[in-house]
Structure formats: structure tokens, C-alpha cells
Structure 1
Amino acid sequence: MRRWSPLIAVCLGTFLLLVDVTIVIVALPSIAGHLDAGPHDLAWVLDGYALALAALLLGAGALADRFGRRATYTIGLLIFAVSSLICVLAPTVHALVAARVLQGVGGAAMFATTVAILNVTYRGRDRGVAFGIWGAVSGAATAAGPLAGGLLTEHLDWRWIFLVNLPVCAVAAWFTTRTVAESRAERAGRFDVPGTVTFSLAAIAITYGLIRAAADGWTSPAVLGPLAAGVAGIGLFVLVELKSTDPMLDLGLFRQRPFAGMIVAAFLCQAAAFAYLPYTTTWLQQVLGYGPVDAGLLGALPLSGAALLVGVFAGRRLQTVNPRTAIGGGLLLIAAGALAQTVVDDRAAALIPGLILVGLGSGVVMPVLSSAVLAEVPRERSGMAGGALNTFRQLGFAFGVAIYGTLFPERKSYAAGLSDATLMAGGFALVAAILVMVTVRRRAPEAVKIG
């Protein structure tokens, strides 16, 4: 049992932080009634967390490499627990939004270190099992948010979606402090303050612009301004990193085709597999009239259940497969599943086969992609690589939600908009699969092989 205790600690935190990306979706009507919140306020209850999480991941990874991954992960758990308690006690919607942003800070510290902790903790066959289970938990958590939110909101109260975080954080912290060994980069240079600031501000601006695009349209000044500022910020970040002796992100990593290809594939995969799920949940509730629990079951259980089964029964074996074959094949399953959901009618059951295929594909892609990315970088860069991978994942989710949100104009039926969204998701997955096939090496790197 002790051998797997670090995995338990990492999976508990990962599940919490990813569930909280989407868990509030089905609770928004209840929150609106209790806190007298308008649509704009409710959007920020959902998006404030995602914005902080995406913007701070890379900086948190650099901090972890320098000051210790276990310490960073533990501090993240503490921040997440405190902010969850503030969410429970929030008297106004503005206090709730502020607490959700603080939750994103804690989630970033946790998420940036999970992959690195597993990478330095496990070897050989154990590494395959660890990444398989972690990948399954990651895929299942993102999809399970609406289900968990529906169960808690319908049978208890919306505040319980945050209250349940407290005991889970306590258990995760106990496992972490007792069983996870501290690790950090062997050569810790100066912390890259200019790089951290420029990237975080650029990521905030881009994520904010993407979030606003769904409501205001792509030509709105409220969208174009932040996006332009974000692009300029990324340019400034690149200049800062090229001149830095201890960069937060070693841009030389992107000269390696496999690393660059898999990072972009992670961005597209997150958009393809998960970003349309908030709209699926909305369709099930507002159009078909399902309650929060039933909407969560129909919209999340097939996907999350399939992903979990893949991780439990095939996680270790997947690590022995050529990464190009495993990741590319998984992305093709996601594409097939998304395209299968384009036939939207008045029957929710029509979505289930497609959701199962997406779950199977994400259960394959998530663990193999993480271990394959880490195999392309020196071990002391694990935190940096993990932070970059998870940053692009979260930006991909925000990008997908924004893109799909523009497909639901009032003149079109919601079902037609959802059909267009899943069609676009299938296209993203196909592009990602082609990219992986072109850029990832034919043979698995030695660091990924299990034996």
C-alpha cells in the first residue's frame, strides 16, 4: 500500500482540481437564486477558476522545480482547502468569484507538480501503472464535474460542491506529507520573475479574451483588446526568456519536434474531448428538461466511466506501446466519438455511444501523452515540462469553450449548435492525430519503455 500512497495523494488532488473546473455548471441556477446573481456574474463563477488555473500553471511549475515539488503541491492543497471554505461561506456572488480565483491559484500549484512527482517517484512497470491510473483519473474528473455537481446540488445544496473539498484535501495532504519524497531541480538558478510575470499576464489576457468571445463575439473590443494584449505579451515573454540565463520555460525544448507536436496536440485534445460538455449539459437540462442528476449521469458517466476503465485495465500496457501509435490512435477514437455525437435529436441516449468512444480515447491519450512529453526532457526539467503540458491543456479547454460558444446564435436551434460543436471537436481531434503521426518518433524513447 505504501508504494502507491504517493499516487493516491496525486490522484486525489488531480481529481479535485479538475472536477472543480466544471462542477459548478449545473449549480449555477441555484447559485443565482441564493446570491441574486446575474448571467455575467455566473459566468465568472465558472471562468474565474479556469482563468487563474491556466495563467499560473507554468509559473507554478518553475517554482516547484526550484523550491520543491512536494512543498508546492502541499501549499496548493492548503490554498485550495481555504478557498473552498471561503466559497462555502461566501455571502455575495462577488465574494464567491474571488474565492474561485483563489481556488485556481491553489489548483495551479497542484496541477503543475502532479506529473513531475509521478515521474521522479516511480520507475519501470510501476511508472506505467501510475501514469495509467493518473491519466484515467484526469480524464474522468473533467467529465464527472457536472455529475458530481448535480448530485450535490439536487440532494443537498450548492455549497456542498465546495464543502466536500475539505476532507479530500485533508486526506491528500496527509498522504503527501507522509509518503511523497521531496524533489527539485539539481541546478536551481534564480527564479525567473520577468518570465513568470509576462507569461502570467499574457495567459490571463488570452484566457479572458477567449472567455468573453462566447458572449460578446470575436469582433468585440472587449475580446480583440485582451487577445491583442495577450499576443503582445507572449512576444515579450519570448524575448525575456531568450535573454534569461535561468528561463522559466526553456524555449529550446520546442525545437524538438516530438515535444512541440505533443504540446500542441494536448491543446487540441482538451478542446476536442471536453470543451463541448458544458453545452451538452445545458442542452440536457434546458432543452430536454432533465434534472441536474440525470443530466450529469447522461452527459458525464459514459465518458468518465470509459476513461477510468482504460486506465485501470490497460494503463501499464499502454506505456509499452509506441507513443505515436497510442496517442494517435486515442485521438482518432476521440474524433470518432465527437463525430458520432453530431446526430443530435430529442433523445439523450443518442449521445452515449459517442461519449463512450471519447472516454476510451482520452483514457489512452492522457497518460501516454504525459509520460511521452516527460521522456523528451531532462529529469530536472520535469516541473517545467509538466507545467507547460498542463498549461496548454487548460488553454485548450478555454479555447474550445469559447469557440463552441459562438455556434449557438439565437436564430439556430440549440441542437443544431451542439451538432456543429461536436463536428468541430472531431476536426480538432483529427488535426491533433495527424500532428502526432508526423512529429512523434516511431520508436518509444527508452525513458518511456516499461520493463
Structure 2
Amino acid sequence: MTSPRTRWVGLVVISVAVALIIVDSTIVNVAVPSIVDDLGLTSTQVQWVQESYTLVFAALLLVFGTLADRFGRRRMLIIGTVIFGLASVFAALAPSGEALIAARVVQGVGGAMILPSTLSLVNANFHGRERGIAFAVWGSTIGGMAAVGPLLGGWLTTAYSWRWAFGINVPLGILVIIGALLYVAESRSEHPSRVDLVGAVLSVVTSASLVYGLIEGRTLGWWEVANPPLMIGDWEWPLDVSPIPFAFLTAIVGGILFVAWGLHRQKQGRSTMIAFSLFRIPSFRNGNIAALVVSLGEFGLILSLPLWLQNVLGYDALQTGFVLLALAIGSFAASGLAGSLSGRVAAVWVVRGGILAEIVGIVIVALVIAVDTPWWQIVIGLFVYGFGVGLATAQLTGVVLADVPITASGQASGTQSTARQVGSALGIAILGTILFTSLAADLDASLESTIPDAAAREQVVDTVVDSAGTAIPAIEAQSPEVADAAKQSFSDATRWAALAAAGFLGVGLLATISLGSGRAREGADEAADAGAGAAGSGAAASAPN
């Protein structure tokens, strides 16, 4: 970006690259019920369609950030966009749930290449006040695409097919690649650090085994082997104990080894995947805990709402997109307020106010959930919730990094982004498990008088749960009484998932008590640069997955 004009056009290209990730995520949320109906996904596969992308994205974020610094940020951006686009083609053509999940895994790889590259490119090409303006434009693009995504996804799914929800990524990706080649200057670190390959492998093993255990536990059995047991081809799990405890054990051992290995490399003065030394700073340590827990509560709820709106209230994908638009509008409105409060109200209080608004919004949604809830009641709750998301995520990263030395702001920002992504992955896993487990238990109890035979009742429950609720309309044609019970149970389960999300956000709010004011860096131009970079990282990390 040699000229001012080229630099700002390049910023638009970079913003569209990030928006590519946002659009894909929001479109998938709306399209999930149609995908379930077309491909016959089980409820576990529904979780994996979203979880596989988020998990891979979170696990590889730091790795590709380091590689981008070494081999070139524009190059990494272009490679990531190509991979993301090709994976989108395979997702659009997927003949089965397994193929779609595999495509989503590859999309996660591409997304993990794109995000840190865009952050580094903005940091490398803008300075002083321009950097703050650049991140404002970048964040506005993200907010706008977050609002457009549900509508675009709903329209494509309703008018054409859910497959176009993935196909739309191809022309957007082509625009990004051409724009990056023409308007984005290449940049790389003058002193790049080596990639910690062992740490990278340990982080992937830890996160993958943990999320696998959380999602598959209700299917394979939390302790004893479920019926049917785990089958991989012709091979059957041979033990009486479920594989899930072994998955959790792997996660614990992997996490311990990851920390031990990182501390070992740190003592040798070598690069690490996570900025372990910075965890001695109370605001950084507690802020990352808050970021993880808040993200867990924020994005796990997005799994259940589209399913409930379409399968219980009977909305189509486009109508669901209009309802979810309230969340994006609230978040977009909050970004303007957060900017006006900057310098007048301590950032940590803006964060706390945002989290509190999120809790209030989710509680409103939980209280009004019923089989006949009017759309406007849900919209009110989602707007308040989205407003809180906009306030909290706009300021949290700056608060977390307030006491971090400027020279370590890059690695600290990457660590905080990873904490958010891990929280998002855990949110989908935990709240999805709460949703489907409570649905099964509640529906089984409510059908005892209608279907006295346990085997027949279990078959109905499994049909509703395994289809993630999409079987309810078909059941209604055969037995309205059973369908009514299924709708009520799905509503109750969605309410429990919402209240669980509010509970996690409450824990996140408590974790902000020990955070500083976020003003430690104010007063110097270099400090402003670091703060702007941190704010950009927070905006990206807050985007849906």
C-alpha cells in the first residue's frame, strides 16, 4: 500500500476477507434446519457442522499467525482464501453429513489463515490516527456483514437451496484474491519467531479431545458404553467403559503437557504458542478467563435458536434471518455508543455493562420462549442481547491488554483471540449437549401417558432428538398430540440452554471484577497504536464462528 488511495482500497479488501468468515458463519446458522432435512443429519452431526469449523479455527489461529509473520501476510491471506473457497465448493456439493463436516474442517483451516493475516496487514500498513480509523472501518464492515448474513442465508435457503449458502463464498473469495493482489502490499516480520510445532500439536489434541467428549458423551455414554456402541467400519469399541472418559483424560493430559512444554520453551527463551509469561499480570490472566467464559455464553446460544424458530414456531429460513437480524442490529448500534463513551467512561465499566445487557437479553428470550411466542418478543430479547455483545466485545480486548507491555501486545492479542475462539467452541459443545439432553429427558417424561410402551416411546424420542427437531412436522401429520409434546419439550430445552448461557455470562461478569480500567496505555502515540491493534483483534474474535 504505497499511496493513500491504494492503502484504503486495500483496507476494503481486507475487511471483505474477514466478512467472508462472518457471512459463512451466520448463513450456516440459518440454513442448518434445511441441511438437516436434506442430508438427514443427526443432532450430534448438527453440532459438528458448526463445531468442526470453530474447533479447527481456534486450534490453528496462533500457528498461522506465526507463519504469516514469517512467510508473508498477504500470501497467507490469499492461500487461506483459496482454501476457504475450495472447501465451500465441496460443502455446497456435499452428499452426506460426513462430507459436509469434512468440508467445514477444511474451511476452518482457511479461516485460521485469513483472520490473523488481516489483523497483521492492518497493523503493518496503518499508523497513528489512521490505524484507529482503519479498525473502525474494518469493524463496521464486520458489523454490516453480520447483519446481512442471516438475511442472505435465509433468502438463498428459502428461494434456492442451502447449498447456495456455501456457494456464495466463491465469488466473494475471488474478489478478495484479485483485490489483495492489486491493492494490498506484502508485509512480514523482520524477526519472525519459529513455530512451536510440538505446542501446536498438543493444543490441537487437547481442544479436539475435550470438544469430542462433550459432544459425543450423550451418544456414546458418559461412562458406560451406550447401545449401540462406537463403530468405526467393522471395528467395535471393545471395552465396557465408554471412550468418553478416555477423551477427557486425553484432554487433561494434553493440557498439562501443553503448559509444561510452553514453560520449558519459555525458560530457554524460545517462542511459545501462548504468552505464558504474561499470565503473571492479573488483568491479562483474569481477562482471558472472562473472554473465554463470555464467548462460551455468547455464541453457544446461536445453535439452538434457529432450530427452535423453524421446527417449533414454523418459521422458514428467511423469517428466521429477519428475527436474528435483531441481534446484529443491536450489536451494530452498540458500537457507536461504545465509541462515544471512549475516554469518558472507563472501558472496564463498558464491558461490565455490556455483559449485564447480554444476561438481561438472554433472560428475556428464555422467559418468553413457548410454542406460540410472537416474533416481536424474541426480537426484543435478541436486540438487548446484541447490544450487550457490541458493548462488551468492543472494549474487552483493550481492557485485557491494558497492563501488557507494548512490545508484547501482538502475542498477547493472539492469546486473547484464541481464548475467545476456544470459548466459542466450548459454548457450542456444552450448550448443544444441554439442549439435546434436556430435550430427550423432558420428551420421554411427557410421553409416558401417551405412549406407555417404553420401546415405542424411546423410538419417538430418538427420532425427534436425532433429527434436531426437524421430524416434528412429519410427526404432527400422524399424531398432533405427540407433536405438541415434542414442541413443548423443544421449547423447554431451548429455555434451559438459554439460561445456561446466561449463567456462563454471569461467571464472566464476576471474572471482570479484578480487571483494571483500561486506561494504562493512554497518552502516547505508540500506546494508541497498540490499543487500536488490540481493539481490532477483539472485534475479529467476537465475530460468530
- Alignment of 1:227 with 2:231, yes or no, is no
Gaps of 5+ in 2: 225-241, 443-488, 533-545
- Alignment of 1:122 with 2:116, yes or no, is no
Gap change, CA 1:425 and 1:91, over 3 Å in 2:
closer
Q: Mark the structure with the bigger radius of gyration.
A: 2
From 379, 403, 417, give the equivalent of 2:493: 417
Q: TM-score when scaled to structure 1?
A: 0.88
Match of 1:402 in 2: 429
From 364, 388, 400, give the equivalent of 1:340: 364
From 27, 45, 60, give the equivalent of 2:31: 27
Cα shift at 1:108: 1.0
Matched residue SS, 2:272: coil
C-alpha separation in 2, matches of 1:89 and 1:224: 36
Is the deviation greater in 439-448 or in 134-143? 134-143
C-alpha separation in 1, matches of 2:171 and 2:123: 27
Matched residue SS, 1:274: helix
Match of 1:63 in 2: 67
- The one-letter amino acid paired with 2:198 is P
Cα deviations across residues 349-385 of structure 1 (Å, max 9, x unaligned)? 2222221112112112223234445565566655533
* TM alignment of 1:27-426, pairs within 5 A: 27-32=31-36, 34-35=38-39, 37-135=41-139, 138=142, 146-213=150-217, 219=223, 221-244=242-265, 245-298=270-323, 300-311=324-335, 313-314=336-337, 316-317=339-340, 319-320=342-343, 322-343=346-367, 344-345=369-370, 346-347=372-373, 348-373=375-400, 377=404, 381=408, 384-405=411-432, 406-407=434-435, 408-412=438-442, 413-426=489-502
- The one-letter amino acid paired with 2:290 is A
Gap change, CA 1:216 and 1:8, over 3 Å in 2:
farther
- When the two chains are superposed, the root-mean-square deviation of aligned CA atoms in Å is 2.9
Q: Decide whether the 8 Å contact of 1:329 with 1:433 is kept in 2.
A: no
Is the deviation greater in 83-92 or in 137-146? 137-146
Cα shift at 1:303: 0.6
Cα deviations across residues 190-231 of structure 1 (Å, max 9, x unaligned)? 321111111122222222223324655655634432222122
C-alpha separation in 2, matches of 1:218 and 1:13: 40
What percentage of aligned pairs have identical amino acids?
Answer: 36
Matched residue SS, 1:276: helix
Cα deviations across residues 18-47 of structure 1 (Å, max 9, x unaligned)? 343353344344435554655554543333
Gap change, CA 1:177 and 1:437, over 3 Å in 2:
farther
C-alpha separation in 1, matches of 2:441 and 2:406: 53
Q: Decide whether the 8 Å contact of 1:261 with 1:439 is kept in 2.
A: yes
Matched residue SS, 1:341: helix
Cα deviations across residues 84-108 of structure 1 (Å, max 9, x unaligned)? 1222333444333222111110011
C-alpha separation in 2, matches of 1:124 and 1:318: 20
Q: Decide whether the 8 Å contact of 2:33 with 2:306 is kept in 1.
A: no
- The one-letter amino acid paired with 1:331 is I
Cα shift at 1:287: 1.0
Q: TM-score when scaled to structure 2?
A: 0.74
Gap change, CA 1:285 and 1:131, over 3 Å in 2:
same
Gaps of 5+ in 1: none
Cα shift at 1:262: 2.3
Matched residue SS, 1:333: helix
Gap change, CA 1:5 and 1:310, over 3 Å in 2:
farther
Cα shift at 1:233: 0.8
